[in-house]
């Protein structure tokens, strides 16, 4: 397996890899997320990749895409309330379902950790939906710890909790 920076020609592969995680998010919160089946994500992903502070990496075997991550190098200025911070924020990460539990996600995160260290960054943040217990277990196994919680109150009576995540059977 090889992990490398994303090239412009990889956009189609990223959109395909994103389709699965976008579907998961739309299933959990259809009031928030658009369905990848009904909406083309190409412009959205291309928009992220066009920003100078964003980086993307692709895991592949030969020429077959296995997973990807899009992350941001954040420079947060000091304010009256907070100290200046330099951190990496992971916006998207996905491994194709047939390639999960093979160390690809861990390898993507190790790559991001090394890139961050090379830039003098010692903090990586990310978030995931609370109903995604597989993501919680995965990130916890790699040492990530919760640091804040986001709560929601809907005045329109819509449910605030994400739908229960259906467990996808493992492929053998």
- pLDDT recorded at residue 82: 96
Predicted confidence band at 156 (pLDDT cuts at 50, 70, 90)? confident
Question: Residue 9 and residue 77: Cα distance in Å, rounded?
Answer: 34
CA 99 to chain centre: 16
- pLDDT recorded at residue 162: 62
DSSP 149: -
117 vs 163 pLDDT, higher one: 117
Question: In the chain, how many domains are there?
Answer: 1
Predicted confidence band at 169 (pLDDT cuts at 50, 70, 90)? very low
- Whether residue 170 lies inside any domain: the answer is no
| Percentage of the residues of the chain whose pLDDT score is greater than 70 | 92
CATH code for the domain in which residue 117 is found: 3.40.630.30
CB burial string 104-137: b at 16+ within 10 A, e below: bbebbbebbbebbeeeebeebebebbebbeebee
Is the sign of the CA dihedral 60, 121, 137, 69 positive or negative? negative
- Whether residue 168 lies inside any domain: the answer is no
- Whether residue 137 lies inside any domain: the answer is yes
Q: Over range 129-146, report the average pLDDT.
A: 93
Question: Residue 118 and residue 121: Cα distance in Å, rounded?
Answer: 7
C-beta separation of 87 from 74 below 8 A: yes
DSSP 55: E
pLDDT digits (tens, 9 = 90+) for 4-21: 999 999 999 999 999 999
pLDDT digits (tens, 9 = 90+) for 23-56: 989 988 888 899 888 888 999 999 999 999 999 9
- Whether residue 50 lies inside any domain: the answer is yes
Tokens 């995680």 sit at which residue?
21
- pLDDT recorded at residue 160: 67
For the entire predicted model, the pTM comes to: 0.88
DSSP of 70-94, one letter per residue?
Answer: EEEEEEEPP-SSS--EEEEEEEEEE
Q: Over range 152-164, report the average pLDDT.
A: 74
- Whether residue 53 lies inside any domain: the answer is yes
- Whether residue 75 lies inside any domain: the answer is yes
Question: Residue 130 and residue 5: Cα distance in Å, rounded?
Answer: 29
- Whether residue 157 lies inside any domain: the answer is no
Host domain of residue 129: 2-141
- Whether residue 90 lies inside any domain: the answer is yes
pLDDT digits (tens, 9 = 90+) for 72-104: 999 999 999 999 999 999 999 999 999 999 999
- pLDDT recorded at residue 164: 57
């Amino acid at each position: 397996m090889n992990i490398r920076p994303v090239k412009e020609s990889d956009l189609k592969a990223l959109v395909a890899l994103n389709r699965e995680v976008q579907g998961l998010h739309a299933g959990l919160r259809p009031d928030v997320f658009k369905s990848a089946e009904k909406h083309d994500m190409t412009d959205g992903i291309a928009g992220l990749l066009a920003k100078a502070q964003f980086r993307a990496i692709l895991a592949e075997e030969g020429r077959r895409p296995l997973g990807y991550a899009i992350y941001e190098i954040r420079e947060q200025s000091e304010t009256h309330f907070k100290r200046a911070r330099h951190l990496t924020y992971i916006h998207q990460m996905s491994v194709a379902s047939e390639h999960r539990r093979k160390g690809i996600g861990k390898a993507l995160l190790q790559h991001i950790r090394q890139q961050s260290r090379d830039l003098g960054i010692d903090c990586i943040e990310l978030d995931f939906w609370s109903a995604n217990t597989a993501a919680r277990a995965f990130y916890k196994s790699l040492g990530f710890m919760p640091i804040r919680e986001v709560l929601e109150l809907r005045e329109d009576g819509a449910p605030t909790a994400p739908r229960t995540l259906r467990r996808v059977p493992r492929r053998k």
